[in-house]
Structure 1
């Protein structure tokens, strides 16, 4: 058997299972509320009818999955230099992507795909807010070869390959993250993100609980009494300690699930990253397509001698607004030597800090005013909610003011912009101190603005727009900002390098 991408071909036969699972999952997600109500309201004499209905739904889903598999074909059009995919059951569609516009090709593997031994191949372009094409069931060897053909579309030597022929490439393991390092990353990072996740989950759970009370006609007064009694058993200290433990546990679990068996391989001039416990993800990092490179480190990570890196590639405006980190490739827990080697591959050399620009003291005033306004809004909301004696919140207010004061001070102290001929480096952060690095020729547009009440003090704001997101510098000297803008515009216009 020969693998010829110039002729239409289907996915693996086991793709029928994937199509069935995807279709069944989407139906359950769309109908979980009425299904839950049916189960609770079901009478004994209705079990047979519901069982037959469920069997009919499974049978219908199998038929749909088979038709999706049969109508799903893909091939390479060498004459037009396009990748063409056809799909659909009733409304059939045909998608064509110019090979030169392909931004990224990822090879992933979910739990179901791992069980049946197939992979998914996702093709992304810089101008869309989602994956252009997703092939859900493909053999690993076929996926690797197709990925190479899509990204090296000018090379036709690998067009046809025997099934038993090995795929040879110049690869070597560049970085491997150990379990010990992942544990260190789990206990030293993502505190804010995990707390926000817990708050979101608690709000969603509370709303679902209230809906259940309304649906099943449970007495709300009894529920409130239970909560009041339960709250009396725990002090604020125990709750805070429990929250800290929960945050650490969630961080560790999330880190291992996402970055388990993290391996970075150097392949030609690119980096291939493979990671994931349940869903294995294989991502190609092309240095030319990286727009913003950043690394961050907090106090605990400094003691452990580890840091986190992020490489952001080009994405659409909608992705940048709604999913700011969706286009970022993370490298957790690397040391300074490994960071420098990665920076050399992506940027060509280790960036050096040039002239330093600091924020005006008005940065402190603005941050302080925002923090006090937020606290006032929360206290006002609690007061009008009639929750009881407000004096019990005084210790929490004191803790909040102490914590936010430290964050504002260190945030101001670390807020700086460094500029030289080759790089722009922004340093920021109170706890996680992050350095964001941009090459001037990657800038797509620049915004420099000044409010009328800042003119007398010559203070303004700077925003650098790239295809992967924005980098801003607030409350800087506006005269210096205008000089930098003219300098960067000159560099962009005279540079012979492409932005990707």
Structure 2
């Protein structure tokens, strides 16, 4: 009997529809401004006919491309070479081979169409890759679970000679094993999810509003230059007149943007983390979440390189914390390396720590604090925008002087308060098994890394550090770097210990 998935095969036939919608979406996203132009201009006669014919031809071409993309997409498991093999490409063939020992994790994702069709997107990540190595868009539930189980077993050095089991037997054994291994489950309730969204950093929502408005304006400006120029001039005149006459208008605008930012941030958290379920089994943390895109991830302790715990004053009062589990990634793309789990209670955070670390991460250790030179550096960096805008104000006078003074003073005050909070809260603790970095601005953050998972340590000493016996330390890890500036040179003794601890251990770091 042949081994499971040893023969090249295609994904589910519904993959044609998924490829079609994905390709069509890319076209619409790339040319939405042109589509908006034609809709607003309301073309008639021959022009309208040509547009309809062009759109029809586009649909046909995308459908043909989707079919051949589906036909050319083949995958299988090569047990002898110990690799997962993928062949794809319509106009040129692309071969991807992933050795079992390079597989970082196997995840499941599910968009709206995939839920309707009853299939999963199977994503295989490898350590150090710039993007997803393999994504199979349409795999039925049974095959997805079986592929994940086989690859997870093989990457851990399991038995590669297992034969295909009966489908019913696979499902029964998997459910029984999961039931027996499950130790605890945390479910994020709807009320907790909303509280998490309302108490999150709403500055991200403000940034999204700014980027959205800027993108819309720039795209429309390419097709409606005259109209947008008139709108911009009129808006500038209105704002300029109102700003000098009424602070109430500016206050109302700021309040509106703030409310909209909070709403967007809450909606983003709701969509991304809806129905979050975190389960600890005997050997892994299993996470499932998401409304628009449902994601399933299974993490073993050895894969987690850095644990980051974040909260803020409001969330701490509500007993809400966010855990960030960082796994190995490339420097070019570290966003995909972190798995964020918000809305956790303090007891759940402690359970995650206990599972990830056999020994206590609260061990005693030597604590280092930064020198005041670090505070000076931060304050100087923050003053640069004020100096730059002050020079522009002197030569160009782009805003009334009293308004510039008001904005610059408010900025410097808020910036200085945050930097003083960060400076006085910054600490680096080095123990026998763990390195812990803590700091506080608005968010309170703790980063924990096991010493044996470090890949190296860099120590730098700029000229202005020498007289004060200060150094700049960087701990290199497969998931990213932990940096600590302007620390006393006495930390070098601990660096020697860390290097010794890295060399003496035989434990696998991933």
Q: What is the TM-score normalised by the length of structure 2?
A: 0.91
Give the equivalent residue in structure 2 for 1:25. 25
**Gap change, CA 1:164 and 1:52, over 3 Å in 2:** farther
Pick the aligned partner of 1:270 from 265, 274, 284. 284
Question: Unpaired segments of 5 or more residues in structure 1?
Answer: none
Contact kept in structure 2, 1:5 and 1:159, CA below 8 Å: no
Out of 319, 328, 331, the position equivalent to 1:305 is: 319
Q: CA, structure 1 residues 245+60, in 2 after alignment: closer, same or farther (shift >3 Å)?
A: same
Q: CA deviation at 1:448?
A: 0.7
Say whether 1:161 aligns with 2:158.
no
Q: How many angstroms does 1:115 deviate by?
A: 2.4
Output one character per residue of 1:134-154: Cα deviation in whole Å (capped at 9) or x when no partner: 100111121111111111112
Could you tell me how far 1:366 is from its partner in structure 2?
1.1
Label 1:382 to 1:205 Cα distance change in 2 as closer, same or farther (>3 A): farther
Measure the CA separation in 2 of the matches of 1:470 and 1:106: 25
Map residues 144-155 of structure 1 onto 2, 5 A cutoff: 144-153=145-154, 154-155=158-159
Indicate the residue corresponding to 1:473 in structure 2: 484
**Residue in structure 1 matched with residue 142 of structure 2 by the alignment:** 141
Aligned counterparts of 1:382 and 1:249: Cα–Cα separation in 2: 35
Q: Establish whether residue 341 from structure 1 lines up as the match of residue 351 from structure 2.
A: yes
2:265 corresponds to = 251
> Which secondary structure does the structure 1 equivalent of 2:193 belong to?
helix
Kept in 2, the 8 Å contact 1:149–1:159? The answer is: no
- The equivalent position to 1:237 in structure 2, one of 251, 255, 275, is 251
SS in 1 for 2:227: coil
- In 1, are the aligned partners of 2:188 and 2:343 still within 8 Å (CA)? yes
User: Aligned runs of 1:64-103 on 2, under 5 Å?
Assistant: 64-103=65-104
Q: Structure 2 matches for 1:161-240, cutoff 5 A?
A: 161-165=165-169, 166=171, 167-168=174-175, 169-170=177-178, 171-172=181-182, 173-214=184-225, 217-218=226-227, 220-221=229-230, 223-229=232-238, 232=242, 235-240=249-254
Shift of 1:468: 0.4
Relative distance call for 1:208 and 1:65 in structure 2 (3 A) is closer
RMSD: 2.3
Query: Which runs of structure 2 are paired with 1:455-494 in the superposition (5 Å)?
Result: 455-478=466-489, 480-494=490-504
Contact 1:3–1:163 (8 Å) recurs in 2: no
Give the Cα–Cα distance (whole angstroms) in 2 for the partners of residues 486 and 413 of structure 1: 27
Q: Residue 336 of structure 2 aligns to a residue in which SS?
A: coil
Question: CA shift at 1:337, angstroms?
Answer: 1.1
TM-score w.r.t. length of structure 1: 0.93
How far apart, in 2, do the equivalents of 1:129 and 1:408 lie? 33
CA contact (8 A) 2:392 2:398 kept: no
Distance 1:255 1:451 in 2: 42
Call closer, same or farther: CA 1:210–1:38 in 2, change over 3 Å.
closer
Residues 222 and 193 (structure 1), Cα distance of their counterparts in 2 relative to 1, 3 Å cut: closer
Structure 2: which 5+ runs fail to align? none
Q: How many residues align?
A: 493
Tell me how far 1:58 sits from its aligned partner. 1.1
Matched, 1:410 2:421: yes
2:382 paired with 1:371: yes
In the TM superposition, what is the alpha-carbon distance from 1:190 to its structure 2 partner?
2.3
Residue 382 of structure 1: how far off its partner (Å): 5.0
Q: CA deviation at 1:412?
A: 0.8
Aligned CA distance change for structure 1 residues 239 and 222 (closer, same or farther; 3 Å)? closer
